[in-house]
Amino acid sequence: MRGVSVPQHQFARYADTYLHARDRRQRDAVQIHLLQAACRSYTRVVLRLRAQAEAEAQMMSIERARSPSSFDRALSPRGWGGSSTSVNRIPTSPTPKKSLSRSSSRAPSPMSGFSHSQHGHALTASIPGSVGPPSSGNGVPIGFQSPLFRLRRAPLLQVFVPSPEGDWLSDASVLECERELKRADVTKYLRAGDVVWDAAVGDEGNVGRLVWDGNYLIDLDYAYSRAGDLPRYLPTLAFPPSYFHRVIRTMGGGNPICHINIAPWGEEIAANLQLLQDRMKMETPQGGHHMVVRWVHRSSFHIRPSPSGKPPRIPQSKNVGPGPGPGEMWFVDSGWFGTVVVEAEGTNEGLADLQARCRGAFPIRATGAAANVALSPERVAKDEAKRNVFRILRDRSRPGEIWIRTVTEKERLIPL
């Protein structure tokens, strides 16, 4: 209760007062210990909620598999039309006396596209005393609800480590954050992609946010954004497209950086490639907007589960850096199943960049036939890192159709 009742800006204020006290006797060590204990408890509660949400989602999935017709009827009361998509409009609270014709604004039901990959794997544990999916009292099952955690979203865990270096955490501070997780006894429950926030350094942008890579906490990637993006050592396809939305904040246009290897679908991209005119809205220096026409190279490919129904594996490079090693099993999350539209600049350079990302799917140019001869492993790793950088276009994307755009070296802030 202390962790959720103390305003977030107060954490940084207490840490700043503690660090800048002239005399050690003036330091309120008791308050610091209380805040550390509050963050540990908060982290344990969030991970407990994740286990509960996944267990409830699994029970609802099992119940639907046993009697799909009756389960669909329970999820399709009068006024929803009984369509197959009505499962995504479960009411947030029991309203038996009000009309349910208006669709709810809450997130989709946990059964909708629930992933059994590494980051959507349902727990096998059951909740004592539960015999079926929770009900609102009128026969309509209710999905898991909590303001602290949402299914298929990254949990935002908290630690409290005052940083003498300020907003940028030093290596010693990052190690202390890891020790705080061990003191909370939650490391065995962490998963790759969990976001840990050091509440002692403030809540401006992504300040104090770190990502658990499966073994250690790693910094965000600031190569293309001053606010920070997901590190390139974590494959984006292994997570739902909106997994880090509002957890890793995106500044500017709101289109986050993602790291996707499109080479396995290179032939399909080459077959669907088109040069098109596209209209886009540009902002003027005076703050207004006007429409401009530009040329783009646009193609698409489809991500499907394997014939056995299992999600396809994500090829992992040998030069992955400090993240999970080559032995890790990464699978494509079901949120990416469907069509992926990829765009590149409508120039010769943009076309060449897209062709390089597809690796051999396009005919080799005579002028560049010997371009990749005798390259060092370091150079190969750098070229591979550059070819996998895209932006997710959120304003155009929707379930079943995700739009991505190539990111070139011109957009890079830090040289590779």
> Given a cut of 90, is residue 142 above it in pLDDT?
no
DSSP string covering 171-206: HHHHHHHHHHHHHTT-GGG--TT-EEEEGGG--STT
This prediction's pTM:
0.76
Instruction: Give residues with Cβ within 8 angstroms of 249, minimum separation 6.
Output: 205, 206, 227
Mean pLDDT of 100-128: 37
> Given a cut of 60, is residue 140 above it in pLDDT?
no
The phi, psi pair for 285, rounded to 5°, reads -60, -25
Mind spelling out the 3-state secondary structure of 286-306?
CCCEEEEEEEEEEEEEEECCC
Mean pLDDT score of the chain: 77
DSSP string covering 193-247: T-EEEEGGG--STTTTEEEE-SSSEEPPB-SS-SS-B--TTS-GGGS-TTTTTTT
Query: Which of 100-109, 135-144, 380-389 is most confident?
Result: 380-389
Residue with tokens 């790291």: 259
Query: Which of 70-84, 175-189, 269-283 is most confident?
Result: 175-189
Report angle CA 109, 128, 56 to the nearest 5 degrees. 10
- List b or e across 335-357, with b for residues whose CB sees 16 or more CB atoms inside 10 angstroms: bbbeebbbbbbbeeebbebbbbb
> Given a cut of 90, is residue 110 above it in pLDDT?
no
Mean pLDDT of 344-370: 80
Mean pLDDT of 211-217: 92
- At residue 309 the predicted structure's pLDDT band, cuts being 50, 70 and 90, is confident
> Given a cut of 70, is residue 150 above it in pLDDT?
yes
Rounded Cα gap, residues 403 and 297, in angstroms:
13
Question: Is residue 406 within 8 Å of 390, Cβ to Cβ?
Answer: yes
> Given a cut of 60, is residue 12 above it in pLDDT?
yes
Which of 22-36, 134-148, 172-186 has the lowest average pLDDT?
134-148
At residue 365, the pLDDT reads 62
Neighbouring C-beta atoms of residue 26, cutoff 10 Å:
10
Neighbouring C-beta atoms of residue 143, cutoff 10 Å:
22
- At residue 165 the predicted structure's pLDDT band, cuts being 50, 70 and 90, is confident
